[in-house]
Amino acid sequence: MKVFKFGGASVKNAEGVKNILSVLKTTEEKNLVVIVSAMGKITNQLELIVSNYFSNPNEVKSSIAQVYDYHFQIISDLFSNTSHPIFNVLLKYKNELQFLLENNKSNNHSFVYDQVVSFGELISTTIISHYLSNKGLENKFLDVRSCIKTNTDYRDAMVDWEETQKNIVESVLKKGICITQGFIASENSHNFTTTLGREGSDYTAAIFAYCLNAESVTIWKDVPGILNADPRHFKKTQLLHHISYREAIEMAFYGATVIHPKTLQPLQRKEIPLYVKSFFKPKDNGTCVGKGVALDPLVSCFILKKNQVLISLSSLDFSFMMEDNIGDVFKQLYQYKMKVNLIQNSAISFSVCVDNKFNKLELLLGKLRETFRVTWNEDVVLYTIRHSKTSEIKELLRGKEMLLKQENRETIQIVLRNNTI
């Protein structure tokens, strides 16, 4: 058994869906779990529905209609027979989404978010399953919410591994192809939909691979594999042929977006190799993450995180920043769900660079001001460079304002003011 995962970019239109069929035929794999994300940028449109629901309710119906129209165009391009059941299924999803929001009683934004955004994955996999069947490729549609069980931490749920493994083993065909969703799951108590964190479809693939003792996981993308830098921000990039689990986990921790941070840990425990390949060239080798050398070729790797917040603290009476002070800070960071990407401290100060994912910065700052002198910079940029060269760092900093720098043997982290990028 192998696991394939296709991201939103690979299924953004009808041609992308057709290409999934082409990849499956080219690879000639017979026993597969195929995990698919929402199509294109549809998650962003579903997030707009959530936003409108809470702040601009008169726009909810029109924003739902945009989601419906986007998918309707895709299925119209895929199915020449307009009486095919997929057209009624899509309409059913639209009606379910409207009914959900009209009858929702919860004011919990994260709960509503998960119930709404999950429609993206459900619709995409339904379309793909029907299309493959229509083209003679038999498959089983599997609602992943019946398999992956979590707690009730909506938008970033934790997996109940024991229950999940039992469900996956019972649900997945021993032979043949299963089509299922990435990113989404359901909580144990009432079966409400949860999500595994943004970009969590890679994590879904790792969960299935771990539970099924899969031979490998392949993530299909619009790039030839894992590059040493994001080509959207760096002119010169190189393909990495092989990365060790440890090196990949380091890169993911620092924010490399090719692989979800939680994806690699279950794969490493069972030494299941992860391949990142181009869906345009499925025969190419791409990148393998697994046992072996740390990095091949050994080049500098650049990771860029935008929209960060740099927070600097010092004690009100200029006393030392000791373990008890720092412990209190971390309690607050955890309480307000701040993702810490850099830490630096001295005798009387403590700085962190955080990702304000849940928009709770003002609440955090208010709490910290009760105990500390607080300064902060919003919308800063964090660069993390692995295996760097001095000449590359000099070039990176040319003409830019550096706010903070931290360096160890293998990694340099630099915080820059955004208006100098």
Cβ(241)–Cβ(297) below 8 Å: yes
Please say if the pLDDT value at position 123 is more than 60: yes
pLDDT tens, position by position, 365-389: 999 999 999 999 999 999 999 999 9
Would you list the domain boundaries of the chain? 2-222, 301-420
Provide the greatest CA pair distance for the chain.
Answer: 75
The pLDDT tens digits of the residues spanning 229-252 come to: 988 888 889 999 999 999 988 888
The mean pLDDT of 175-201, rounded to a whole number, is: 94
Residue 1 CA to residue 30 CA, distance in Å, equals 8
Q: CATH number of the domain at 2-222, please?
A: 3.40.1160.10
Q: So what's the pLDDT on residue 336?
A: 93
Rounded to two decimals, what is the model's pTM? 0.83
- Above 70 in pLDDT, residue 3? yes
pLDDT at 252 (0 to 100): 82
- At 136 the three-state DSSP class reads coil
In CATH, what class is 301-420?
alpha beta
The counts of H helices and E strands in the chain are 12, 18
Q: Are 216 and 19 in contact (CB under 8 A)?
A: no
- Is the pLDDT confidence value at 324 over 80? no
Query: Above 60 in pLDDT, residue 420?
Result: no
Question: Is the sign of the CA dihedral 218, 222, 225, 231 positive or negative?
Answer: negative
Section 83-104 average pLDDT:
98
